[in-house]
Amino acid sequence: MTEQLNISFNTLNLADKTEFMPSIGIFGRKNSGKSTIVNLFAGSEVSEVAKNSGTTKEPFKCNTTLEGIGRVLLYDTSGIDDYGESGEKRVAKTMEVLKVIDLAIIVITGNLFAEPEKNLVCKFQEYSIPFIVIHNKSDLQELSPVTKRQVETAYQTNLIEFSCVNSHSISSVIDVLRNVIPDSAYESKSILGNIVSKNDLVILATPEQLNAPDGKLTQPQIEITRDLLENSCMSLLVKQKELPSLLETIIPKPKLTILPTSSFKQMEELLPKDIQLTTYGIVMSRYRGDFIQYLEDTPKLSSLKDNDNILLMQAASDSTSAEYKEQELVQTMINEYSHKKLNYTVAKIFEKPLTNCRQFHFAIICGSYLLTKNQIAEIIKPYIDCNIPVTSFDMVNAYTKGTFLRSISPFLL
């Protein structure tokens, strides 16, 4: 098995990074001038501005070009200090933006950096989002040297004096942004965008009984379908038992067929060899995780020895969820595959981190669907630095069930 997996990672389907644009979220209290700053960046009034607070009810995004950076996607958001039932819903929608941005700007005024801002920084740290701080309306009240020193020392970031009435202020912000935008911001944010092309057909197979509550599609199925639509592709959802007869007659031939992992082995034997097959788990592992690292490390499961220590990093907190149960399933999979006596340690990702990575021989993320790509990168970095193999539950699932090679092949062309 190991000999078959000498994969050339240089051939992976990775698009030119210049094709993609960073996403920048702008956050702050009500009436701090967030929307005005968005308009200054955009060079026109793209976001509604008013003297009364709470004008921005929903997160708003726009494309623009920043000198020295290029194309960026800006997100204007509601005030982080909003209150009441409606206000709390607006804040919740603002927090959803954290899942899609690469960089954040906190806008403050009057040298006020208190609990709302500190709580927001905690969220940034949880999602591994770099950020800078702008002290807006400095024409009304200058930035205090004490505030600047305290914020920059506490959070190791930049606090920039700014005024929307001074158009030259924007250049100093852009200069700082240019230096703090992470390289990952220029990677594709599409799930399948560098695999499929316009008008390609992708088939999404579902079990006979939909697994999600109330018979709904799963979140990965919804996200993949939306992604295909955004890439001007055709998506066809079909029950898996209908696949063999459908593939005999359908025109055009599908670019990709996505299956549930549980039925992949059975369907692989029934479907033509020239049909590109993968699983929802592999697609999402590639999208959210370090796929190249996973491809390199997952086959090392074959080298496990008796008494090796396996770390299971759990992202889920709800013990009744499917993601939480992955920690039990993965132990069964590995034990049945390896026939070794292994030691497992389960660590909850958002609790106190483990200090001794080197005690483990393998690290596996469970519930990775609940994490962003940035979060996963931060979580697995210490283990990669210690040369400890890392992978995800879905990659282990495919490997131990013997479906690994064919399910990863569409992404190696």
Contact residues for 163 (Cβ-Cβ < 8 A; gap 6+)? 136, 137, 138, 139, 169
- Give this prediction's pTM: 0.76
Q: Which CATH class is domain 299-404?
A: alpha beta
Question: Which residues are paired to 62 by β-bridges?
Answer: 74
Name residue, tokens 């013990």.
319
Asked if residues 243 and 208 have their Cβ atoms less than 8 Å apart, the reply is no
pLDDT tens, per residue, the chain with 413 residues: 333 444 444 444 444 343 578 999 999 999 999 999 999 998 877 666 555 555 556 888 899 999 889 999 999 999 999 989 888 999 999 999 998 899 999 999 999 999 999 999 999 998 889 999 999 999 999 999 999 999 999 999 999 999 988 877 888 999 999 999 998 888 878 899 889 999 999 999 988 766 544 456 788 889 999 999 989 999 999 988 898 888 888 888 899 999 988 888 888 888 888 889 999 999 999 999 999 999 999 999 999 999 999 999 999 888 888 889 999 999 999 999 999 999 999 999 887 667 788 999 999 999 988 888 888 998 999 999 999 999 999 999 999 999 999 999 999 86
Residue 127 neighbours by CB distance under 10 Å: 17
The residues spanned by each domain of the chain are: 21-186, 299-404
Q: Which CATH class is domain 21-186?
A: alpha beta
The yes-or-no answer to whether 21-186 and 299-404 have a common fold is yes
Q: What is the DSSP letter of 98?
A: G
